[in-house]
Structure 1
Amino acid sequence: MDNRRRVLIVAYDDAQILDIACPSGALDIANRYGATPPYTIELGTLGRRAARSSAGIALGAGRGLEEVTGRLDTVIVVGGVGYEKAAADARLLAQVRRLAERSRRIASVCTGTYVLAAAGLLDDRRVTTHWGYGEQLAARHPRVAVDVGPLYIRDGDVYTAAGVTSALDLTLSLIEDDHGPTLARAVARELVSYLHRPADQAQISMFLAAPPPGDRLVGDLAGHIAGNLAEDLTPAALAARAGVSTRHLTRLFTAHLGTTPARAVRAARTEAAVHLVRSSELSLETIARRCGFRSAQTLRQAFLDHYGVGGDTIRRMPDMPRPRTPSGHETSAP
């Protein structure tokens, strides 16, 4: 008897190619690392037509959705700019409903959530989607509880992911559910993934949450801060990098980010540190060094200021802590 885990990825024209590649690639690597039972991975479309991705690359479908019989382990509906036509296609919705009845679990990535919702599979469930499409999804399907905060959400046997690279985080979570954390970590390492982000990590980081800085200098410095947390990021160093005075730098940050340079740096370091605490077993001392804090004690104080709890508590919490003040409004610099 074949006990393989049958995974069917449902695609359509103008799908996002990463929504297809992230799950299929991760599951393939899990097989090569000894997933038992292994996964069989197929791409399915209506009529077995090639799916033209939004990048212009056509992907040959291995199965027509109408042809699929027998039990399935997982059905994954992808997203992409073609989601509106897909969610309005009665034939596609009928097949998705039929396949869901044959599957142990069903998932969507990004705007694939719209297809599941249109098929009536998300009523009275908590789901997520790409942050830019949540408001429209909630308005269109009032019985669906939309939360665009987390990277992915599991509600019973239904999984929804925020989109694009979060498809990888969702798939690593599925692998961990099926085969344990050791295999999931091995797959993440093979993929050269910095870390397997937890479901409750926010979709949007501090520097992306607000509208992009209107000043190019501020935008460039924000990117420099996020990518060089362990470097010298004092106001004087940032001002020298930008070729302006520290006073002018402070005026620019206040005008475009609503905070001072020192507070912006501390918020960025604290945000990065909390993600490492939640997703790794690194010591606070190591995390402090990587994120640019002088010591573990300085990091602990930053956690207390920003989240109201210490690092050890954050590591044990079931969910990501919520800032008690808006990002960027801490009271002292590391």
Structure 2
Amino acid sequence: MTQRASVAPQTVPRCVAILVYDGVTMLDVAGPAEVFKEANGFGADYRIVLLSPLGEDVTSNLGFRVAVDGAVSAEPAPDTYLVPGSDRYPRTPVPRNLAEAARVPAAGARRVASICTGAFILAAAGLLDGKRATTHWRAAAELTARCPTCRVEPDAIYVRDGSTYTSAGVTAGIDLALALVEEDHGPDVTRDVARALVVYMQRSGGQSQFSAPLQGPPPRSPALRKVTDLVTANPQDNHSLGELAEHLHMSTRHLTRLFHEELSTTPARYVENIRFDMARALLDQGHTATRAAALAGFPSYESMRRVFARKLSISPAAYQRRFSTARRAGADE
């Protein structure tokens, strides 16, 4: 067990208020709350309260009844105000009363933070206007559409813009809570909390480590669809710009323009992305990194390693250790 550190407590406990409402994602609430609670064991002094818009108990996304400490309007402004997410609000508009339940306390809080799709509630409250933000990678495009003045960073684990914080999907709320504890009490306490919870103090890489490959819509142009189908079916072939253009009997300039207009990328980068996605799948299946590089069409392992480092900030071997299985080696022995 980690030895408890000694940190001088605050004169007044730091109030961490968490907004809960019907359909709230339970892990978005429990994960950050556990971080702050654990920090108290190492000398921090956080007081955690659960607030709902009207002070009534709510039902979480798991069907659990969540007892609250009171109504948003009945509590003084908290030090930290957390707004968890829900599966509902990327799909439906945020109700006005819920947006107000985020906006009013946030005005007096030292800092306000959203977990996962809680960013949609902050956006509906006008709290993300003109700011950088993130959310779950699946909902990033929708957040951009709903908050066009907000600069959404879909690959970030969490983003800070002034006193406003937003985090990515689900467990990224734990990453954000650790960052908030570090702001308050420094890295030593945060390291102790992370060790006690058996989590990373700071994860390398971004959300693209966890996202499914190539989720974008197919090209509209039949010619471009033909090229993308060819690359996807045979990523090991020679897919240089000249070869692709010759296959379609068009100029390299015209093909490059088609890729830019419809896919917002270049032919070379598209081929690289296809090979990267195939390499990840092969690593997930247990192939060696060298074999995955060859089957995915990379010229060498080193070229694949550079792509992994640029996209995920980890090596292919580290990716395979982290994501190919959730079972520790030897756990069943």
Q: Cα deviation per residue 1:52-71 (whole Å; 9 max; x = unaligned)?
A: 22222222222222321x23
1:39 has 2:46 as partner: yes
Separation in structure 1 between the aligned mates of residue 28 and residue 214 of structure 2, nearest angstrom: 26
Indicate the RMSD between aligned Cα atoms, in angstroms.
3.6
Separation in structure 2 between the aligned mates of residue 63 and residue 120 of structure 1, nearest angstrom: 24
Is 1:185–1:196's contact at 8 Å kept on the other side of the alignment? no
Q: 1:42 to 1:261 in 2, by over 3 A?
A: farther
Q: Cα deviation per residue 1:28-54 (whole Å; 9 max; x = unaligned)?
A: 00001111xx00011111222333222
Say which of 143, 167, 178 aligns to 1:172. 178
Question: Could you say which structure has the larger radius of gyration?
Answer: 2
Q: TM-score, normalised by structure 2?
A: 0.65
Say which of 3, 7, 21 aligns to 2:16. 7
Q: Which runs of 5+ in 2 are unaligned?
A: 1-9, 217-231, 234-277, 321-333
Separation in structure 2 between the aligned mates of residue 149 and residue 89 of structure 1, nearest angstrom: 27
Structure 1 counterpart SS, 2:165 = strand
Residue 58 of structure 1: aligned partner: 65
1:91-240 equivalences in 2 (<5 Å): 91-197=97-203, 201-205=205-209, 208-210=212-214, 221-224=282-285, 233-235=289-291
CA shift, 1:81, in A, is: 0.9
Is 2:90–2:142's contact at 8 Å kept on the other side of the alignment? no
Is 1:44–1:61's contact at 8 Å kept on the other side of the alignment? yes
Structure 1 counterpart SS, 2:21 = coil
Structure 2 counterpart SS, 1:15 = coil
Say which of 242, 255, 266 aligns to 2:305. 266
Q: Which moved more, 1:266-275 or 1:15-24?
A: 266-275
Separation in structure 2 between the aligned mates of residue 145 and residue 233 of structure 1, nearest angstrom: 36
Q: Which moved more, 1:8-17 or 1:85-94?
A: 85-94
Q: Identity of paired residues, percent?
A: 33
CA shift, 1:194, in A, is: 3.7
Q: Which moved more, 1:85-94 or 1:26-35?
A: 85-94
Separation in structure 1 between the aligned mates of residue 124 and residue 317 of structure 2, nearest angstrom: 48
CA shift, 1:260, in A, is: 7.0
Residue 27 of structure 2: aligned partner: 18
CA shift, 1:79, in A, is: 0.5
CA shift, 1:268, in A, is: 8.0
Q: TM-score, normalised by structure 1?
A: 0.65
Separation in structure 2 between the aligned mates of residue 127 and residue 48 of structure 1, nearest angstrom: 29
Separation in structure 2 between the aligned mates of residue 210 and residue 260 of structure 1, nearest angstrom: 21
Q: Which runs of 5+ in 1 are unaligned?
A: 239-248, 277-287, 293-334
Q: 1:195 to 1:275 in 2, by over 3 A?
A: farther
Is 1:47–1:65's contact at 8 Å kept on the other side of the alignment? yes
Separation in structure 1 between the aligned mates of residue 317 and residue 114 of structure 2, nearest angstrom: 38
Is 1:253–1:260's contact at 8 Å kept on the other side of the alignment? no
Is 1:87–1:115's contact at 8 Å kept on the other side of the alignment? no
Amino acid at match of 1:12: Y
Separation in structure 1 between the aligned mates of residue 201 and residue 300 of structure 2, nearest angstrom: 28
Q: 1:124 to 1:81 in 2, by over 3 A?
A: same
CA shift, 1:134, in A, is: 1.4
Is 1:15–1:52's contact at 8 Å kept on the other side of the alignment? yes
Structure 1 counterpart SS, 2:48 = strand
Q: Cα deviation per residue 1:166-198 (whole Å; 9 max; x = unaligned)?
A: 111111100000000001111110110144226
Is 2:190–2:201's contact at 8 Å kept on the other side of the alignment? no
Point out 4+ residue stretches in structure 1 off by more than 6 angstroms: 217-220, 288-292
Amino acid at match of 1:253: A
Is 2:178–2:201's contact at 8 Å kept on the other side of the alignment? no
Q: 1:221 to 1:60 in 2, by over 3 A?
A: same
Q: 1:219 to 1:32 in 2, by over 3 A?
A: same
